[in-house]
């Protein structure tokens, strides 16, 4: 049996089963957005790491080194956001071809530093090695959360609302616009969707506020709404029902879908890399949560569905429900090599 027979999520479940976990100090080990580790003084540490590989996650033809640095940091910060935590420290490990221009590398670091500083995060170390082909960037972020306040993927309860920050599908729209050169659209359209793809913003402030206002479960949108709600449903042992017409999409995303004759809904459900947060919350707590998030960050929360007793995920449209299965990218189940430039 080979890695490609098992797939990325199959591998994660295997590590969950087979790697030893310290039951004393590990409150949440493998399988959530970040690990939650007990620490003296009434706090818990959050730890998360992500690797981005050239030609799998990014194409140097589309991104500047500064944008790439910012994005590598942002996708890790997003996992801290998904736990309701605050980011503190980062480590950077780089695999570089020897021919990498020093000026290019300095711009990459500028991007990493810029995004880290924006969220009061300090880069405290790392490693640099030679890569025989292509660039490999691993960022590890450590964050903190008050004891017992990390929001897991497993806390959704029947009766909760399912809410998302911002809008979905914009990042996939941006990627499509880079690879398929659309016919002319208003200048703001390409600018919006490409920024969503190349310079995603981690929802750290929103995540902390949502945790404070009763988020029962939370996850960030790295693979697409369909995949994320399936994680929430499976780990919380509940059913999630999403209302198709409630899924928030930016006007620019819809415009680009029209121009490219693409399916905006498919971008929102399976495109991924939006780095918005999907959370569940009791209905009576939602209004206060949404108000606090809007007043302190300017970000809108949208109710996209609800949690029911049962299992699996469903998409509702005009009173009819159909199964909502993820069809997003799996690193090992793809048969035709890299099919996109994103995780």
Residues in contact with Mg ion by the rule CB under 5 A:
33, 79, 220, 222
Choose between 165 and 222: whose C-beta lies nearer to Mg ion: 222
What letter does residue 134 receive in the DSSP assignment?
Answer: S
Least distance (Å) between residue 62 CB and Mg ion: 23
Choose between 140 and 255: whose C-beta lies nearer to Mg ion: 140
Asked if 254 and 262 count as a contact pair (C-beta separation under 8 A), the reply is: no
Least distance (Å) between residue 34 CB and Mg ion: 8
Residue appearing with tokens 């990325």: 8
Least distance (Å) between residue 143 CB and Mg ion: 13
Least distance (Å) between residue 300 CB and Mg ion: 21
Q: Which two tokens stand for residue 304?
A: 């996209």
Choose between 51 and 64: whose C-beta lies nearer to Mg ion: 51
Residue appearing with tokens 């292509």: 134
Least distance (Å) between residue 82 CB and Mg ion: 5
What ranges in 151-213 are assigned the alpha helix state H?
170-180, 187-198, 204-212
- For the sheet containing 136-146, what is the strand order? 26-28, 35-39, 43-53, 136-146, 86-96, 122-130
Least distance (Å) between residue 271 CB and Mg ion: 15
Least distance (Å) between residue 231 CB and Mg ion: 9
Asked if 80 and 204 count as a contact pair (C-beta separation under 8 A), the reply is: yes
Query: What count of Cα atoms within 13 Å lies in the side-chain half-sphere of residue 19?
Result: 12
Residue in the shown chain whose Cβ atom is closest to Mg ion: 33
Residue 62: is it exposed, middle or buried by C-beta count within 10 angstroms (0-12/13-18/19+)? middle
Choose between 31 and 126: whose C-beta lies nearer to Mg ion: 31
Least distance (Å) between residue 151 CB and Mg ion: 12
Choose between 33 and 54: whose C-beta lies nearer to Mg ion: 33
Choose between 66 and 153: whose C-beta lies nearer to Mg ion: 153
Query: How many Å apart are CA 145 and CA 141, to the nearest integer?
Result: 13
Choose between 28 and 222: whose C-beta lies nearer to Mg ion: 222
Choose between 66 and 231: whose C-beta lies nearer to Mg ion: 231
Residue/partner pairs of 62-66 with CB below 8 Å, 24 or more apart:
62/178, 62/179, 62/198, 62/341, 63/198, 64/107, 64/111, 65/104, 65/105, 65/107, 65/108, 65/110, 65/111, 66/107, 66/108, 66/110, 66/111, 66/114
């Amino acid at each position: 049996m080979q890695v490609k027979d098992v797939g990325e999520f199959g591998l994660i479940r295997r590590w969950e089963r087979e790697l030893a976990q310290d039951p004393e100090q590990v409150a949440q080990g493998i399988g959530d957005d970040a690990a939650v580790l007990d620490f003296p003084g009434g706090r818990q540490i959050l730890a998360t790491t992500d690797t981005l590989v050239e030609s799998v996650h990014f194409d140097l033809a589309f991104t500047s080194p500064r944008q790439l640095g910012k994005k590598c940091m942002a996708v890790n910060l997003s996992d801290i956001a998904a736990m309701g935590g605050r980011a503190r420290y980062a480590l950077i490990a780089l695999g570089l071809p020897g021919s990498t221009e020093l000026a290019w590398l300095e711009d990459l670091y500028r991007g990493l530093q810029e995004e880290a500083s924006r969220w009061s995060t300090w880069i405290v170390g790392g490693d640099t090695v030679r890569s025989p082909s292509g660039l490999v960037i691993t960022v590890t972020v450590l964050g903190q959360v008050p004891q017992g306040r990390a929001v897991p993927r497993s806390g959704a309860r029947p009766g909760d609302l399912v809410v998302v920050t911002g809008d979905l599908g914009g990042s996939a729209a941006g990627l499509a616009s880079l690879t398929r050169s659309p016919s002319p659209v208003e200048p703001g359209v390409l600018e919006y969707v490409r920024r969503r793809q190349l310079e995603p913003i981690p929802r750290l402030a929103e995540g902390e506020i949502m945790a404070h206002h009763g988020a029962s479960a939370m996850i960030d949108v790295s693979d697409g709404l369909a995949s994320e709600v399936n994680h929430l449903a499976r780990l919380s042992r509940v059913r999630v029902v999403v209302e198709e017409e409630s899924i928030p999409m930016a006007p620019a995303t819809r415009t680009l879908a029209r121009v490219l004759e693409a399916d905006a809904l498919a971008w929102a459900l399976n495109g991924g890399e939006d780095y918005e947060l999907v959370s569940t919350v009791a209905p009576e707590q939602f209004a206060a949560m949404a108000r606090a998030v809007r007043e302190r960050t300017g970000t809108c929360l949208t109710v996209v569905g609800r949690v029911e007793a049962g299992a699996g995920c469903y998409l509702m449209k005009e009173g009819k429900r159909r199964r909502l299965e993820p069809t997003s990218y799996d690193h090992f189940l793809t048969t035709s090599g890299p099919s996109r430039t994103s995780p």
